[in-house]
A and B are shown apart, each in its own frame.
Chain A
Amino acid sequence: MLNPLRSEQEAFRFLLYVFVVAAVVVGIVLAVRALT
Chain B
Amino acid sequence: MEAASHAEHHHGPPLANVSSRVEAQFLGMLLFIISEVMLFGAFFTAYFFIRVVADSGWFPVNDVDLPRAIAGVNTAILISSSFTMHWALEGARNENRNALRVGLLTTALLGLTFLTIQINEYVHLGFAPHDHAQGTIFYGLTGLHGAHVFVGLTLLTFATVRAFRGHFTAKEHRGVEVPGIYWHFVDVMWIVVYSTVYIL
Interface residues of A (CB under 8 A from B): 4-9, 11-12, 14-15, 18-19, 22, 25-26, 29-30
Task: Determine chain A's interface SS by DSSP, over half rule.
Answer: helix
* Best-surrounded residue of A7, A8, A14, A30 (most CB of chain B within 10 A): A8
- B199 pairs with A5, CB closer than 8 A: no
Given contacts A15-B82, A26-B199, A29-B200, contact A8 B180 (CB under 8 A): yes
- In the complex, what distance in Å separates the CA atom of A12 from the CA atom of B181? 8
A7-B177, A11-B184 are known contacts. Are A18 and B191 too (CB-CB below 8 A)?
yes
Total B residues in contact with A, Cβ cutoff 8 Å? 22
A-B pairs under 8 A by CB, number: 53
**Contact partners of A7 in chain B: CB under 8 A:** 177, 181
A34 CB, min distance to chain B CBs, angstroms: 13
Partner of B188, one of A9, A14, A29: A14
CA of A6 to CA of B176, assembled, Å: 14
Q: Name the one of B79, B86, B199 contacting A8, with C-beta atoms under 8 angstroms.
A: B86
